[in-house]
């Protein structure tokens, strides 16, 4: 590649920078060379669950001080992390899986760092929503990621507000609520094509496609285990016309 910058040069870390590093969501081979390089270079790593991340680091033979940083200690831990960054330390931020701050801790620290003019650099990699979207077979040119639907409070409004959305919708869901969410998708959105991606990048990866009741029926035939992304077709003109004629 004539003229391309030396990748190792580009991967060098800069003192006083917060590196937001994506890690695999199952298959450890999905870690990037740059993520490994950065994890080795930073002074220390702020991790959502230090025990979980220690296993990842051990697998890649990386020895680095780990500090816990999660939803319940973020306000207490952020000032100390910012002080270290302002003192010129290089800090890596990782979560249990995928990209920090995507339905994971990170946003609060990133925003505070930027307020204090600390450079923030993403070391991109895996996030569960993108592979789920691309294999869903649903339109990818416009989509809306909605994270986890609220478990109770605000759930009805959440789905009602999305019923008129024409972009493809993406939700994260736990195994305990995936059937309930599929039932609500049918209830609030009507007949739509849905894809449920289970255990992406792992041994039992599977993608179930159909309407929400069809996918729920497939899921009910097995033990509902693992991690799920639900992708839902957006509303289109034909559906709106049918709805209008049903109502009128």
Residues that bind ligand SAM (CB under 6 A): 25-26, 95, 97-99, 102-104, 127-129, 172-174, 197, 199-202, 227-229
Nearer to ligand SAM, 32 or 201 (CB): 201
Give the contacts of 156 (CB within 8 A, at least 6 positions apart). none
SS3 content of the chain, % helix, strand, coil (to 5): 40, 20, 40
What lies within 8 Å, CB to CB, of 3 at 6+ separation is none
CB 180 to ligand SAM: min, Å:
14
Those residues whose C-beta lies under 8 Å from the C-beta of residue 30, and which sit 6 or more positions away, are 24, 125, 126, 201
CB atoms inside a 10 Å sphere around CB 246: 8
Q: List the structure tokens of 14.
A: 């800069």
Using Cβ positions, the residue closest to ligand SAM within the complex turns out to be 98
Closer residue to ligand SAM, CB minimum distance, 84 or 170: 170
User: In whole angstroms, how close is the CB of 83 to ligand SAM at the nearest point?
Assistant: 26
User: φ, ψ for residue 135 (rounded to 5)?
Assistant: -90, -5
Q: What minimum distance in Å lies between the beta carbon of 205 and ligand SAM?
A: 7
Nearest approach in angstroms of CB 12 to ligand SAM is 25
**CB closer to ligand SAM out of 42 and 208:** 208
Cβ-based nearer residue to ligand SAM, 92 or 98: 98
């Amino acid at each position: 590649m004539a003229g391309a910058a030396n990748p190792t040069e580009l991967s060098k870390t800069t003192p006083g920078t917060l590196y937001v590093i994506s890690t695999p969501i199952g298959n450890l081979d999905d870690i990037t060379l740059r993520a490994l390089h950065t994890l080795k270079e930073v002074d220390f790593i702020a991790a959502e669950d230090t025990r979980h991340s220690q296993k990842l680091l051990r697998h890649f033979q990386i020895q680095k001080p780990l500090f816990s940083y999660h939803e319940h200690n973020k306000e207490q831990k952020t000032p100390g992390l910012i002080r270290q960054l302002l003192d010129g330390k290089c800090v890596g931020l990782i979560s249990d899986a995928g990209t920090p701050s995507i339905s994971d801790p990170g946003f609060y620290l990133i925003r505070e760092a930027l307020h204090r003019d600390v450079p923030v650099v993403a070391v991109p990699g895996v996030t569960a929503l993108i592979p789920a979207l691309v294999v869903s077979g649903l339109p990818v040119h416009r989509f809306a990621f909605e994270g986890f639907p609220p478990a109770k409070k605000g759930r009805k409004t959440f789905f009602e507000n999305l019923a008129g959305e024409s972009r493809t919708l993406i939700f994260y869901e736990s195994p305990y609520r995936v059937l309930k969410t599929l039932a609500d998708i049918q209830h609030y959105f009507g007949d739509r094509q849905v894809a449920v991606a289970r255990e992406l990048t792992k041994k039992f990866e599977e993608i179930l496609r159909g309407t929400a009741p069809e996918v729920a029926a497939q899921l009910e035939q097995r033990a509902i285990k693992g991690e799920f992304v639900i992708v839902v077709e957006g509303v289109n003109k034909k559906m709106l016309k049918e709805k209008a004629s049903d109502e009128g």
